[in-house]
Amino acid sequence: MSFREPLHRRKVLKGLLLITAVSGVIFFVLNYQRGMYTLAYTELAAAVYSLGCYRSVSTTENLRAWTLAYLIPFLSVMMFALARPGSSDTIFVWVLLIPQITYLLMGVTGGFIVTAVYLLIALVIFILRYLGGDTIKPVGIANVVICTLAIWSFAHIYEQGRARYSMRLLEIAERDPLTGLLNRRRLAEIVESEIRNSAARNQTVAFILLDLDHFKQINDTHGHPAGDDALIYVTERLHSVIRKTDYIFRVGGEEFCILLPGADLRAGSDVAENARRALESGGFYVNGEPVACTASFGVAISGSDGSNLIDLYHAADQRMYAAKYAGRNRVVFDDVEVSTIPSF
């Protein structure tokens, strides 16, 4: 399952699979007693199929595929039941479930498409079955259509609002409110994923750890608002030296991490050096006075330095502190200094 897949959808799908299995058995018995053998065995097959899907849904990482594997047969059986001569008139109440189920399982876009397709099919069946007959009046058709459209509208509006609210909560949970950068919460998931993806392409990832030099002195001398300005300044400078496919994390108070998918040691050290120079050559202002801001960098590479976040973080952290020990404002990788600019 994607890390963006809402967690409730797996539970909803599992619940619907059980409900479908139970109701399929019930309707098999009822329709078999009425002599509607084709419909009865179709519903029994749907029940068995739902039970077969249940175990896979519990463990799959591709929940969307299994959702479609459930929805399309389930809704198709529903349409088949609607179209069968002799089926109960009340069977059309099942149509009211279509918007609710599809939006819960598929979200706004998928829910809209699936709902539109199957409601259109249901409407055609309904018209062919009742239009011009004496069993239902035009006002009855209007009642069914308007009620269905109202439920569809409510489901769409609700899911839109829920999706926006969920994304906002996710953003609050996974991003640093001051800099807007990804925080430590997302670090492990993204790093491990990019290591796997790069390894599959016979590539490496570069992991850069940096810590601002004399940050406490900035806070003590100029105040904490100046410290916040320094962090924002660093964020802007780091963005200026990376690609769109790279990641920046704020992992501590004045500690940042840069992840470069597909980068080797040379590329990683070049980006770190460019970032170091970008910080050193600029600066920010407090009450009109320039304030210098530098950082110490440690670079690690997947493969030679490890194959998981813990190993890369440890290697980069050791080299970052080696840069601090050597005088700050420098880049260290594999125990070799890339730049040796002395601190002031």
Last residue of a domain, one of 151, 174, 197: 174
- Do 330 and 259 reside in the same domain of the chain? yes
In a domain, 234, yes or no: yes
Residue 192 and residue 122 in one domain = no
Residue 213 is part of a domain; what is its CATH number? Answer: 3.30.70.270
Indicate whether 99 belongs to any domain.
yes
* Full domain range(s) for residue 85: 8-174
- Domain assignment present for residue 2? The answer is no
Let me know if residue 39 belongs to a domain: yes
Instruction: Specify the DSSP class assigned to residue 92.
Output: G
The reply to whether 94 and 167 lie within a common domain is yes
Q: How far apart are CA 2 and CA 6, in angstroms?
A: 9
* d(C-alpha 273, C-alpha 250), whole Å: 19
Both 189 and 331 in one domain: the answer is: yes
pLDDT < 70: residue spans in the chain: 1-7, 131-138, 140, 335-344
Does 186 share its domain with 125?
no
> Given this model, what pLDDT does residue 320 score?
95
Domain end (from 111, 146, 174): 174
Residues in the chain, overall count:
344
The number of domains in the chain is 2
Choose the final residue of a domain: 174, 200, 232.
174
- Identity (one letter) of the amino acid at 127? I
Round to whole Å and give the CA distance between 11 and 118.
23
**10-29 pLDDT, tens digit each:** 888 899 999 999 999 998 99
Residue type at position 73: P
- Reported as a single tens digit per residue, the pLDDT across 276-288 is 999 999 878 888 8
Strand, coil or helix: what is 260? strand
- Residue 64 CA to residue 110 CA, distance in Å, equals 10
Q: How far apart are CA 241 and CA 267, in angstroms?
A: 12
Task: Please check whether residue 3 lies inside any domain of the structure.
Answer: no
